[in-house]
Structure 1
Amino acid sequence: MMILGLVRWMQPVHGYDVRRELLSWNADKWANVQPGSIYHALRKLSEEGLLRAVATEQVGARPARTTYEVTAVGEDEFQTLLRGFWWGLSEPLDPFSAAFSFLPALPRSEAAAALRNRANLLRASIESMRASLESDWMRNTKPVHVGWMFELWSARAEAEMGWCEQIATRIDSGVSYLPAELENGEVWPHQVGSRSPDAK
Protein backbone atom coordinates (compact mmCIF):
# COMPACT_ATOMS: atom_id res chain seq x y z
CA MET A 1 0.00 0.00 0.00
CA MET A 2 2.81 2.43 0.87
CA ILE A 3 4.55 2.02 -2.48
CA LEU A 4 1.35 2.10 -4.50
CA GLY A 5 0.24 5.18 -2.59
CA LEU A 6 3.51 7.02 -3.14
CA VAL A 7 3.64 6.21 -6.85
CA ARG A 8 0.02 7.36 -7.13
CA TRP A 9 0.86 10.62 -5.34
CA MET A 10 4.13 11.38 -7.18
CA GLN A 11 3.50 9.83 -10.61
CA PRO A 12 5.16 9.60 -12.99
CA VAL A 13 8.03 8.82 -10.65
CA HIS A 14 11.40 7.05 -10.59
CA GLY A 15 12.02 4.28 -8.07
CA TYR A 16 14.85 6.39 -6.65
CA ASP A 17 12.41 9.16 -5.72
CA VAL A 18 10.00 6.67 -4.14
CA ARG A 19 12.88 5.29 -2.06
CA ARG A 20 14.05 8.76 -1.04
CA GLU A 21 10.53 9.77 0.01
CA LEU A 22 10.01 6.62 2.08
CA LEU A 23 13.36 7.16 3.80
CA SER A 24 12.40 10.75 4.61
CA TRP A 25 9.27 9.32 6.28
CA ASN A 26 11.36 6.76 8.26
CA ALA A 27 8.94 4.18 6.86
CA ASP A 28 11.44 1.41 7.52
CA LYS A 29 10.82 1.93 11.25
CA TRP A 30 7.01 2.03 11.37
CA ALA A 31 5.68 0.57 8.11
CA ASN A 32 8.11 -2.34 7.65
CA VAL A 33 9.17 -1.00 4.23
CA GLN A 34 12.87 -1.73 3.89
CA PRO A 35 14.87 0.50 1.51
CA GLY A 36 16.53 -2.47 -0.15
CA SER A 37 13.18 -4.02 -1.09
CA ILE A 38 11.66 -1.00 -2.85
CA TYR A 39 13.02 -1.64 -6.36
CA HIS A 40 12.03 -5.30 -6.14
CA ALA A 41 8.54 -4.27 -4.99
CA LEU A 42 8.20 -1.84 -7.90
CA ARG A 43 9.14 -4.57 -10.40
CA LYS A 44 6.77 -7.05 -8.75
CA LEU A 45 3.89 -4.56 -8.76
CA SER A 46 4.59 -3.96 -12.45
CA GLU A 47 4.56 -7.70 -13.19
CA GLU A 48 1.21 -7.95 -11.40
CA GLY A 49 -0.24 -5.13 -13.49
CA LEU A 50 -0.63 -2.70 -10.59
CA LEU A 51 2.05 -0.34 -11.90
CA ARG A 52 3.05 0.57 -15.44
CA ALA A 53 6.62 1.38 -16.50
CA VAL A 54 6.19 4.45 -18.71
CA ALA A 55 9.83 5.18 -19.52
CA THR A 56 13.37 4.01 -18.89
CA GLU A 57 16.22 6.44 -19.29
CA GLN A 58 19.94 6.39 -18.68
CA VAL A 59 22.21 9.38 -18.17
CA GLY A 60 25.90 8.75 -18.74
CA ALA A 61 27.27 5.85 -16.73
CA ARG A 62 24.49 5.99 -14.15
CA PRO A 63 22.16 3.00 -13.78
CA ALA A 64 19.02 3.16 -15.93
CA ARG A 65 16.01 4.69 -14.20
CA THR A 66 12.47 3.49 -14.83
CA THR A 67 9.51 5.82 -14.38
CA TYR A 68 6.29 4.32 -13.02
CA GLU A 69 2.63 5.20 -12.76
CA VAL A 70 -0.36 3.42 -11.25
CA THR A 71 -2.67 1.41 -13.51
CA ALA A 72 -6.45 1.24 -13.11
CA VAL A 73 -6.00 -2.15 -11.43
CA GLY A 74 -3.38 -0.63 -9.13
CA GLU A 75 -5.74 2.20 -8.21
CA ASP A 76 -8.44 -0.31 -7.25
CA GLU A 77 -5.92 -2.30 -5.18
CA PHE A 78 -4.68 0.82 -3.42
CA GLN A 79 -8.22 1.88 -2.51
CA THR A 80 -9.03 -1.63 -1.24
CA LEU A 81 -5.89 -1.79 0.92
CA LEU A 82 -6.31 1.77 2.17
CA ARG A 83 -9.88 1.26 3.33
CA GLY A 84 -9.08 -2.16 4.75
CA PHE A 85 -6.46 -0.63 7.03
CA TRP A 86 -8.61 2.39 7.91
CA TRP A 87 -11.69 0.35 8.88
CA GLY A 88 -10.00 -2.78 10.23
CA LEU A 89 -7.84 -3.45 13.26
CA SER A 90 -4.43 -5.06 12.91
CA GLU A 91 -2.34 -5.55 15.99
CA PRO A 92 1.33 -4.68 15.38
CA LEU A 93 3.68 -7.64 15.66
CA ASP A 94 6.14 -7.15 18.51
CA PRO A 95 8.67 -9.86 19.43
CA PHE A 96 8.40 -8.65 23.04
CA SER A 97 4.93 -10.22 23.25
CA ALA A 98 6.42 -13.62 22.41
CA ALA A 99 9.22 -13.11 24.93
CA PHE A 100 6.79 -11.99 27.65
CA SER A 101 4.82 -15.22 27.27
CA PHE A 102 7.91 -16.92 28.76
CA LEU A 103 8.09 -14.59 31.76
CA PRO A 104 8.54 -17.50 34.22
CA ALA A 105 11.76 -18.51 32.43
CA LEU A 106 13.52 -15.38 33.75
CA PRO A 107 14.62 -14.81 37.33
CA ARG A 108 12.32 -12.28 39.01
CA SER A 109 15.05 -9.68 39.42
CA GLU A 110 16.01 -9.82 35.75
CA ALA A 111 12.40 -9.70 34.55
CA ALA A 112 11.70 -6.60 36.65
CA ALA A 113 14.94 -4.94 35.54
CA ALA A 114 14.24 -5.68 31.88
CA LEU A 115 10.75 -4.18 32.17
CA ARG A 116 12.14 -1.02 33.76
CA ASN A 117 14.77 -0.83 31.04
CA ARG A 118 12.02 -1.12 28.41
CA ALA A 119 10.13 1.67 30.18
CA ASN A 120 13.27 3.85 30.00
CA LEU A 121 13.67 3.14 26.28
CA LEU A 122 10.04 4.05 25.72
CA ARG A 123 10.47 7.24 27.76
CA ALA A 124 13.41 8.27 25.56
CA SER A 125 11.35 7.53 22.45
CA ILE A 126 8.47 9.66 23.76
CA GLU A 127 10.82 12.55 24.49
CA SER A 128 12.24 12.28 20.96
CA MET A 129 8.75 12.32 19.43
CA ARG A 130 7.73 15.31 21.52
CA ALA A 131 10.86 17.16 20.42
CA SER A 132 10.01 16.37 16.80
CA LEU A 133 6.47 17.64 17.26
CA GLU A 134 7.80 20.95 18.58
CA SER A 135 10.52 21.32 15.96
CA ASP A 136 10.59 23.66 12.97
CA TRP A 137 11.14 20.54 10.83
CA MET A 138 7.67 19.30 11.77
CA ARG A 139 5.94 22.67 11.73
CA ASN A 140 7.37 23.89 8.44
CA THR A 141 7.91 20.82 6.27
CA LYS A 142 5.40 18.15 7.25
CA PRO A 143 1.61 17.98 6.75
CA VAL A 144 -0.47 18.43 9.91
CA HIS A 145 -1.58 14.79 9.91
CA VAL A 146 2.04 13.63 10.25
CA GLY A 147 2.11 15.37 13.62
CA TRP A 148 -1.09 13.54 14.53
CA MET A 149 0.66 10.23 13.78
CA PHE A 150 3.46 11.21 16.16
CA GLU A 151 0.82 11.92 18.82
CA LEU A 152 -0.61 8.41 18.32
CA TRP A 153 2.80 6.75 18.62
CA SER A 154 3.56 8.82 21.71
CA ALA A 155 0.26 7.87 23.36
CA ARG A 156 0.88 4.17 22.68
CA ALA A 157 4.41 4.40 24.05
CA GLU A 158 3.19 6.19 27.19
CA ALA A 159 0.62 3.47 27.82
CA GLU A 160 3.19 0.70 27.42
CA MET A 161 5.73 2.56 29.55
CA GLY A 162 3.23 2.75 32.42
CA TRP A 163 2.35 -0.92 31.99
CA CYS A 164 6.04 -1.96 32.12
CA GLU A 165 6.58 -0.06 35.35
CA GLN A 166 3.41 -1.47 36.87
CA ILE A 167 4.29 -5.09 36.05
CA ALA A 168 7.87 -4.61 37.30
CA THR A 169 6.45 -3.40 40.62
CA ARG A 170 4.13 -6.43 40.84
CA ILE A 171 7.03 -8.80 40.15
CA ASP A 172 9.17 -7.12 42.81
CA SER A 173 6.32 -7.35 45.32
CA GLY A 174 6.28 -11.13 44.99
CA VAL A 175 2.99 -11.54 43.12
CA SER A 176 2.91 -15.12 41.85
CA TYR A 177 2.84 -15.64 38.10
CA LEU A 178 4.00 -19.23 37.85
CA PRO A 179 1.77 -21.84 36.21
CA ALA A 180 -0.49 -23.60 38.71
CA GLU A 181 1.51 -26.83 38.60
CA LEU A 182 4.63 -24.97 39.78
CA GLU A 183 3.03 -23.03 42.63
CA ASN A 184 4.32 -25.52 45.25
CA GLY A 185 7.91 -24.45 45.02
CA GLU A 186 9.04 -26.18 41.86
CA VAL A 187 11.32 -24.06 39.71
CA TRP A 188 10.49 -23.05 36.16
CA PRO A 189 13.52 -24.08 34.05
CA HIS A 190 15.34 -20.93 33.05
CA GLN A 191 18.90 -22.05 32.49
CA VAL A 192 19.99 -23.12 29.03
CA GLY A 193 19.66 -26.88 28.78
CA SER A 194 17.75 -27.31 32.04
CA ARG A 195 14.43 -29.12 31.85
CA SER A 196 11.92 -30.28 34.38
CA PRO A 197 11.35 -34.04 34.57
CA ASP A 198 8.00 -33.70 32.83
CA ALA A 199 9.13 -31.17 30.19
CA LYS A 200 8.51 -32.21 26.60
Structure 2
Amino acid sequence: MRGVVHMVLTPLAVTILGLLNERTMHPYEMYQLAATRRGRLVKIRPGSLYHTVSRLEGEGLVRTTGTDRAGNRPERTMYEITDPGRDALGRRVSDMLATPVREHPQFPLALAEAHNLESGAVVELLHERLGRLDGEIDELATAAGGTGTPRIFGLGNEYLLAVARAEREWLRELVSDIDSGTLPWLDLLEGFTFARRDHSGSAKD
Protein backbone atom coordinates (compact mmCIF):
# COMPACT_ATOMS: atom_id res chain seq x y z
CA MET A 1 0.00 0.00 0.00
CA ARG A 2 1.43 3.35 -1.05
CA GLY A 3 2.08 5.86 1.72
CA VAL A 4 3.25 3.16 4.14
CA VAL A 5 7.01 2.75 3.82
CA HIS A 6 8.12 -0.87 4.05
CA MET A 7 11.65 -0.27 2.81
CA VAL A 8 14.43 0.21 5.33
CA LEU A 9 16.32 3.27 4.19
CA THR A 10 19.92 2.22 3.74
CA PRO A 11 22.71 4.84 3.71
CA LEU A 12 22.64 4.74 -0.11
CA ALA A 13 18.85 5.24 -0.14
CA VAL A 14 19.23 8.23 2.19
CA THR A 15 21.88 9.66 -0.11
CA ILE A 16 19.67 9.26 -3.19
CA LEU A 17 16.65 10.85 -1.51
CA GLY A 18 18.84 13.69 -0.30
CA LEU A 19 20.06 14.38 -3.83
CA LEU A 20 16.56 14.24 -5.30
CA ASN A 21 15.36 16.59 -2.58
CA GLU A 22 17.61 19.17 -4.24
CA ARG A 23 16.39 18.65 -7.81
CA THR A 24 15.25 16.14 -10.40
CA MET A 25 18.09 13.92 -11.64
CA HIS A 26 18.85 10.83 -13.68
CA PRO A 27 20.70 7.93 -11.99
CA TYR A 28 24.05 8.63 -13.61
CA GLU A 29 24.04 12.20 -12.29
CA MET A 30 23.07 10.83 -8.87
CA TYR A 31 26.04 8.45 -9.03
CA GLN A 32 28.48 11.22 -9.97
CA LEU A 33 27.30 13.58 -7.24
CA ALA A 34 27.08 10.85 -4.61
CA ALA A 35 30.61 9.65 -5.39
CA THR A 36 31.92 13.22 -5.11
CA ARG A 37 30.05 14.26 -1.98
CA ARG A 38 29.51 11.01 -0.10
CA GLY A 39 32.23 8.66 -1.37
CA ARG A 40 33.83 8.45 2.08
CA LEU A 41 30.52 8.01 3.87
CA VAL A 42 28.60 5.52 1.73
CA LYS A 43 29.62 2.57 -0.42
CA ILE A 44 28.49 3.62 -3.91
CA ARG A 45 28.45 1.39 -6.97
CA PRO A 46 26.46 2.10 -10.16
CA GLY A 47 24.60 -1.21 -10.03
CA SER A 48 23.64 -0.75 -6.38
CA LEU A 49 22.49 2.81 -7.03
CA TYR A 50 20.24 1.81 -9.95
CA HIS A 51 18.80 -1.05 -7.90
CA THR A 52 18.12 1.26 -4.94
CA VAL A 53 16.41 3.84 -7.17
CA SER A 54 14.16 1.06 -8.49
CA ARG A 55 13.28 -0.02 -4.94
CA LEU A 56 12.56 3.56 -3.91
CA GLU A 57 10.24 3.92 -6.89
CA GLY A 58 8.48 0.68 -5.97
CA GLU A 59 7.83 2.09 -2.49
CA GLY A 60 6.47 5.33 -3.92
CA LEU A 61 9.31 7.41 -2.48
CA VAL A 62 10.53 8.58 -5.89
CA ARG A 63 8.85 8.70 -9.28
CA THR A 64 9.86 9.17 -12.89
CA THR A 65 9.22 12.50 -14.55
CA GLY A 66 10.19 11.62 -18.11
CA THR A 67 13.44 11.31 -19.99
CA ASP A 68 16.33 13.58 -20.81
CA ARG A 69 18.74 13.50 -23.73
CA ALA A 70 22.03 15.40 -23.94
CA GLY A 71 23.61 15.54 -27.39
CA ASN A 72 24.06 12.10 -28.91
CA ARG A 73 23.79 10.31 -25.57
CA PRO A 74 20.98 7.81 -24.93
CA GLU A 75 17.85 9.01 -23.23
CA ARG A 76 18.03 8.87 -19.45
CA THR A 77 15.10 8.44 -17.12
CA MET A 78 14.63 11.38 -14.76
CA TYR A 79 13.46 10.95 -11.16
CA GLU A 80 12.06 13.23 -8.49
CA ILE A 81 11.33 12.71 -4.80
CA THR A 82 7.69 12.36 -3.73
CA ASP A 83 6.07 13.78 -0.59
CA PRO A 84 6.22 10.36 1.15
CA GLY A 85 9.87 10.16 0.12
CA ARG A 86 10.57 13.56 1.63
CA ASP A 87 8.83 12.53 4.85
CA ALA A 88 10.76 9.24 4.99
CA LEU A 89 14.04 11.09 4.43
CA GLY A 90 13.30 13.53 7.23
CA ARG A 91 12.39 10.77 9.68
CA ARG A 92 15.44 8.67 8.87
CA VAL A 93 17.91 11.55 9.07
CA SER A 94 16.35 12.70 12.36
CA ASP A 95 16.72 9.22 13.82
CA MET A 96 20.33 8.92 12.63
CA LEU A 97 21.22 12.29 14.15
CA ALA A 98 19.60 11.64 17.54
CA THR A 99 20.21 7.94 18.14
CA PRO A 100 23.71 6.51 18.69
CA VAL A 101 24.20 3.14 17.01
CA ARG A 102 26.50 0.56 18.53
CA GLU A 103 28.70 -0.43 15.64
CA HIS A 104 31.49 -3.00 15.69
CA PRO A 105 34.53 -1.64 13.83
CA GLN A 106 37.61 -3.86 13.62
CA PHE A 107 40.23 -1.50 15.02
CA PRO A 108 38.97 -1.34 18.63
CA LEU A 109 38.90 -5.15 18.65
CA ALA A 110 42.45 -5.24 17.32
CA LEU A 111 43.52 -2.88 20.12
CA ALA A 112 41.81 -5.08 22.70
CA GLU A 113 43.76 -8.08 21.42
CA ALA A 114 47.05 -6.28 20.77
CA HIS A 115 48.59 -7.79 23.93
CA ASN A 116 48.81 -11.06 22.03
CA LEU A 117 51.65 -9.54 19.99
CA GLU A 118 55.05 -8.35 21.18
CA SER A 119 55.13 -4.70 22.16
CA GLY A 120 57.75 -3.85 19.53
CA ALA A 121 55.60 -5.33 16.79
CA VAL A 122 52.57 -3.39 18.00
CA VAL A 123 54.52 -0.12 17.99
CA GLU A 124 55.74 -0.81 14.46
CA LEU A 125 52.21 -1.61 13.24
CA LEU A 126 50.77 1.50 14.88
CA HIS A 127 53.46 3.64 13.24
CA GLU A 128 52.38 2.12 9.92
CA ARG A 129 48.76 3.00 10.69
CA LEU A 130 49.75 6.53 11.66
CA GLY A 131 51.46 7.00 8.30
CA ARG A 132 48.34 5.93 6.46
CA LEU A 133 46.20 8.06 8.75
CA ASP A 134 48.34 11.11 7.91
CA GLY A 135 47.59 10.51 4.22
CA GLU A 136 43.87 10.16 4.88
CA ILE A 137 43.83 13.34 6.95
CA ASP A 138 45.60 15.24 4.17
CA GLU A 139 43.04 14.02 1.63
CA LEU A 140 40.11 14.93 3.87
CA ALA A 141 41.56 18.36 4.62
CA THR A 142 42.14 19.03 0.92
CA ALA A 143 38.61 17.96 0.05
CA ALA A 144 37.16 20.11 2.83
CA GLY A 145 39.06 23.21 1.80
CA GLY A 146 39.21 23.10 -1.97
CA THR A 147 35.86 22.05 -3.41
CA GLY A 148 34.07 25.40 -3.30
CA THR A 149 31.02 23.54 -1.97
CA PRO A 150 29.11 25.28 0.85
CA ARG A 151 30.15 23.90 4.24
CA ILE A 152 26.63 22.64 4.98
CA PHE A 153 27.06 19.93 2.33
CA GLY A 154 30.39 18.75 3.73
CA LEU A 155 29.62 18.23 7.42
CA GLY A 156 29.94 14.45 7.09
CA ASN A 157 33.48 14.70 5.74
CA GLU A 158 34.26 17.39 8.31
CA TYR A 159 33.25 14.93 11.03
CA LEU A 160 35.47 12.22 9.52
CA LEU A 161 38.38 14.67 9.52
CA ALA A 162 37.84 15.54 13.20
CA VAL A 163 37.63 11.83 14.13
CA ALA A 164 40.77 11.00 12.14
CA ARG A 165 42.71 13.82 13.81
CA ALA A 166 41.55 12.70 17.25
CA GLU A 167 42.55 9.10 16.48
CA ARG A 168 45.99 10.27 15.33
CA GLU A 169 46.57 12.21 18.54
CA TRP A 170 45.45 9.30 20.71
CA LEU A 171 47.59 6.80 18.78
CA ARG A 172 50.67 9.00 19.12
CA GLU A 173 50.20 9.06 22.89
CA LEU A 174 49.62 5.31 22.98
CA VAL A 175 52.79 4.57 21.01
CA SER A 176 54.73 6.88 23.33
CA ASP A 177 53.33 5.09 26.39
CA ILE A 178 54.28 1.66 25.04
CA ASP A 179 57.76 2.82 23.99
CA SER A 180 58.49 4.49 27.33
CA GLY A 181 57.14 1.65 29.45
CA THR A 182 54.40 3.85 30.90
CA LEU A 183 52.08 1.16 29.61
CA PRO A 184 53.72 -2.11 30.74
CA TRP A 185 53.18 -4.86 28.19
CA LEU A 186 51.80 -8.26 29.13
CA ASP A 187 55.21 -9.96 29.19
CA LEU A 188 56.43 -7.34 31.67
CA LEU A 189 53.56 -7.70 34.13
CA GLU A 190 55.25 -10.00 36.62
CA GLY A 191 52.90 -12.35 38.40
CA PHE A 192 49.94 -11.35 36.24
CA THR A 193 47.58 -14.24 35.60
CA PHE A 194 44.15 -14.47 34.06
CA ALA A 195 41.68 -15.55 36.74
CA ARG A 196 39.45 -18.40 35.69
CA ARG A 197 35.92 -18.27 36.96
CA ASP A 198 33.43 -21.03 37.54
CA HIS A 199 29.81 -20.74 36.53
CA SER A 200 28.90 -19.09 39.83
CA GLY A 201 31.26 -16.22 39.06
CA SER A 202 33.79 -16.97 41.82
CA ALA A 203 37.49 -16.83 40.90
CA LYS A 204 39.52 -20.04 40.84
CA ASP A 205 43.26 -20.49 41.22
Any unmatched runs of 5+ in structure 1? 187-200
Instruction: Specify which of 102, 119, 144 is matched with residue 108 of structure 1.
Output: 119
CA contact (8 A) 2:60 2:85 kept: yes
Alpha-carbon deviation of 1:6?
A: 0.7
Aligned position for 2:142? 131
Q: Work out the CA distance in 1 between the residues paired with 2:156 and 2:69.
A: 38
Give distance in 2, aligned partners of 1:94 and 1:49. Answer: 34
For residue 97 of structure 2, what is the aligned residue in structure 1?
86
The alpha carbon displacement at 1:100 in A equals: 2.1
Question: Which amino acid is 2:184 matched to?
Answer: S
Matched, 1:163 2:170: yes
Separation in structure 1 between the aligned mates of residue 103 and residue 130 of structure 2, nearest angstrom: 18
Alignment of 1:144 with 2:157, yes or no, is no
For residues 78 and 63 of structure 1, the distance between their equivalents in structure 2, rounded to whole angstroms, comes to: 30
Q: 1:8 and 2:35 equivalent?
A: no
The structure-2 alpha-carbon separation of the partners of 1:54 and 1:86, relative to structure 1 and needing over 3 Å to count, comes to same
Q: What whole-Å deviation, never above 9, does each CA across 1:38-87 have from its counterpart, x for those lacking one? A: 10110111122212233357899966632212222211100101212233
Provide the rounded CA distance (Å) in 2 between the counterparts of 1:19 and 1:89: 28
After TM superposition, give the deviation of residue 148 of structure 1 in Å.
5.1
Q: Which moved more, 1:52-61 or 1:159-168?
A: 52-61
State how far apart, in whole Å, the 1-side matches of 2:185 and 2:74 are. 58
Would you say 1:47 and 2:58 are equivalent positions? yes
**Counterparts in 2 of 1:36-75, with a 5 A limit?**
36-55=47-66, 65-75=76-86
* 1:176 corresponding residue in structure 2: 184
* Residue of structure 2 equivalent to 1:21: 33
Change (3 A) 1:29 1:151: closer
Q: Quote how far apart the aligned CAs of 1:133 are.
A: 4.2
User: Amino acid of the residue matched to residue 84 of structure 1?
Assistant: D
In 1: Cα distance, 2:138 partner to 2:70 partner: 44
CA gap 1:150/1:116 in 2 versus in 1, 3 angstroms: same
TM-score (norm 2): 0.71
- Taking the aligned partners of 1:60 and 1:148, their CA distance within structure 2 comes to 35
Q: Distance in 2 between matches of 1:126 and 1:150?
A: 11
Show the counterpart of 1:118.
Answer: 129
SS in 2 for 1:68: strand
Runs of 5+ in structure 2 lacking a partner?
1-13, 194-205
Percentage identity across paired residues of the two chains: 28
Separation in 2 of the partners of 1:99 and 1:14?
42
Aligned in 2, Cα 1:35/1:160: closer, same or farther, shift over 3 Å? farther
Aligned in 2, Cα 1:133/1:53: closer, same or farther, shift over 3 Å? closer
User: In the comparison of the two structures, how many residue pairs are matched?
Assistant: 178
Q: Could you tell me how far apart the structure 1 residues matched to 2:101 and 2:33 are? A: 25
Aligned-pair CA distance for 1:93: 5.3
Aligned counterpart, 1:192: none
Secondary structure of the residue that 2:39 maps to in structure 1? helix
